């Protein structure tokens, strides 16, 4: 997970919101950021191969902890992001069911602090500003409202370009 749900739900803007809805927004933002930057944020030094059955991966790594995000690849059916919910002596339990496969390449995913803070700012902007999208200026006396164009020059993924500046250093070239 890009940001812990507890960290988001403790903020005043989100206390009245449903935790499952906020988690869905976090998951969506995580995928959007990975796609936008073409960066999977993998720590390739923390990687191993193992089989899977149910919601368990039969294997472990000493530098993986509960609540860490892992990415499974090269399995053909289990490829994706998972959150570790339990670690045993010879297994890792993840947050959803896996298909029984003999080979899963498991890699730890680590997001830098500035990306985590940027995601929180994106969520806050969405909660505070979504009902005012498109308004460039508004005058109350004699009521005047000016809307601006939302095109590729001033918005990305539905968010203002200025809000996504933190992602520029993490962009990787697409080939």
Instruction: Give pLDDT tens digits for 100-155.
Output: 999 999 999 999 999 999 999 999 988 887 665 555 555 666 676 665 555 555 67
Taking the chain, what is the end-to-end CA distance rounded to the nearest angstrom? 27
Do 163 and 122 fall within a single domain?
Answer: yes
Do 71 and 152 fall within a single domain?
Answer: no
CB count within 10 Å of CB 4 equals: 13
Domain count, the chain: 2
**Segments forming the whole domain that contains residue 60:** 42-109
Domain boundary pick from 87, 109, 131: 109
Domain boundary pick from 85, 109, 133: 109
CB 57 within 8 A of CB 92: yes
143 domain residue, yes or no: yes
Q: For the chain, give the percent of residues with pLDDT over 70.
A: 86
CA dihedral (157, 159, 160, 164) positive or negative: negative
CB 83 within 8 A of CB 54: no
pTM: 0.81
What is the largest distance, in Å, between two alpha-carbon atoms of the chain? 70
Most confident listed range (15-19, 50-54, 149-153) = 50-54
Domain boundary pick from 80, 109, 138: 109
């Amino acid at each position: 997970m890009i940001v812990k749900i507890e960290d988001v739900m403790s903020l005043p803007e989100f206390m009245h919101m449903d935790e499952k809805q906020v988690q869905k927004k976090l998951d969506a933002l995580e995928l959007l950021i990975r796609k936008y930057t073409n960066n999977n944020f993998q720590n390739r030094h923390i990687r191993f191969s193992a089989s899977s059955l149910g919601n368990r991966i039969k294997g472990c790594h000493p530098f993986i902890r509960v609540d860490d995000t892992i990415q499974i690849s090269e399995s053909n059916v289990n490829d994706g992001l998972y959150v570790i919910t339990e670690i045993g002596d010879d297994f890792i339990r993840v947050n959803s069911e896996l298909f029984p496969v003999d080979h899963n390449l498991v890699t730890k995913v680590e997001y830098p602090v500035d990306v985590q803070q940027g995601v929180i700012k994106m969520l806050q902007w969405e909660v505070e500003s979504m009902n005012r999208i498109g308004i460039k200026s508004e005058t109350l006396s004699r009521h005047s409202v000016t809307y601006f164009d939302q095109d590729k020059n001033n918005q990305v993924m539905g968010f203002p370009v200025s809000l996504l500046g933190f992602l520029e250093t993490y962009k990787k070239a697409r080939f």
